[in-house]
């Protein structure tokens, strides 16, 4: 079984994927890049969206749900198929950009093909989150894995500062950054002291998250539009 399909079957859609579905809404045209076996494709279809898919893995393509309009069984880095793309309300790249050899070129190509109203939704893990900083600081651990932050197929790593910059330099205007929170430093210790925990959650937590997003967000989504 494909590793990303295993993760979906174990945990369901992630908070970021659920946020993507909410933003896309109903009856939209969607280009989903890197669909894997189509667990998000299926959710888009359930929202009455018209869905085209770009997926290079033939085994994953074989498992895509019925109802996907067009399947491009190729890599998004293959420039030869760009003239076959239609016009879309949304282009979705959920945990894809970090796997590409040349993400800048792909973003520029997509911007050229996008219509004036197209929204680009890009999500990926934040390498600067407290989870990763703690792992590196205390353990010195940067061991690649089958999935997650250090997925062995990741070629690039981004933070909530560097990804928006990458998008803005390659044809996209960043509109919003939405994060999924991890624990902040000392949060685990504070949670064991009831009165401190209450003060922390009610008074300090949101202010700290807003001020230190690069620590607080372990995974994030950027919403952008064509410049």
Q: What tens digit of pLDDT does each residue of 162-171 get? A: 999 999 999 9
Query: Is residue 100 in some structural domain?
Result: yes
Output phi, psi for 115, to 5 deg: -90, 175
Question: Do the beta carbons of residue 86 and residue 191 sit within 8 Å?
Answer: no
Whether residue 45 lies inside any domain: the answer is: yes
> What per-residue confidence (pLDDT) applies to 117?
93
The answer as to whether 98 is a domain residue is: yes
Q: Confirm whether 203 is domain-assigned.
A: no
Least confident of 32-36, 108-112, 213-217: 213-217
- CATH (domain of 38): 3.40.50.150
Starting from the edge strand earliest in sequence, which strands make up the sheet with 50-54, in order?
A: 70-72, 50-54, 29-33, 90-94, 119-125, 217-226, 172-181
Does 208 reside within a domain? no
Per-residue pLDDT band for 205 (boundaries 50, 70, 90) equals: confident
From the list 63, 73, 118, the residue with the least C-alpha distance to 92 is 118
Number of domains the chain is built from: 1
* 64/62 Cα distance (integer angstroms): 6
- 194 occurs within a structural domain: no
Please report whether residue 193 resides in a domain: no
Which domain does 119 fall in, by range? 3-130+141-182+217-226
**pTM score, two decimals?**
0.89
Residues 77-130 pLDDT 10s = 998 889 999 999 999 999 999 999 999 999 999 999 999 999 999 999 999 998
In a domain, 187, yes or no: no
Mean pLDDT of 59-88: 94
Q: What is the mean pLDDT of residues 20-40?
A: 97
Nearest CA-CA partner of 32 in 1, 3, 2, 60:
60
User: Where does the pLDDT of residue 132 fall: very low under 50, low under 70, confident under 90, or very high at 90 and above?
Assistant: confident
């Amino acid at each position: 079984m494909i590793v990303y399909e295993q993760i979906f079957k174990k945990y369901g859609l992630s908070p970021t994927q659920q946020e993507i579905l909410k933003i896309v809404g109903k009856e939209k045209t969607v280009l989903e890049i890197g669909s894997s076996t189509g667990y998000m494709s299926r959710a888009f279809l359930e929202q009455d969206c018209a869905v085209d898919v770009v997926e290079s893995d033939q085994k994953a393509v074989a498992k895509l749900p019925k109802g996907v309009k067009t399947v491009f069984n190729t890599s998004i880095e293959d420039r030869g198929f760009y003239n076959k793309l239609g016009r879309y309300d949304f282009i979705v790249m959920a945990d894809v950009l970090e796997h590409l050899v040349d993400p800048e070129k792909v973003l520029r190509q997509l911007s050229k093909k996008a219509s004036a109203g197209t929204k680009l939704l890009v999500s990926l893990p934040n390498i600067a989150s407290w989870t990763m900083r703690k792992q590196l600081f205390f353990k010195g651990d940067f061991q690649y894995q089958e999935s997650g932050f250090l997925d062995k197929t990741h070629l690039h790593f981004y933070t909530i500062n560097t990804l928006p910059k990458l998008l803005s330099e390659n044809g996209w205007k960043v509109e919003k950054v939405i994060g999924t929170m991890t624990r902040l430093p000392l949060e685990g210790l504070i949670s064991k002291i009831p009165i401190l925990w209450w003060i922390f959650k009610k008074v300090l937590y949101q202010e700290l998250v807003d001020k230190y997003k690069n620590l607080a967000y372990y995974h994030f989504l950027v919403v952008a539009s064509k410049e």
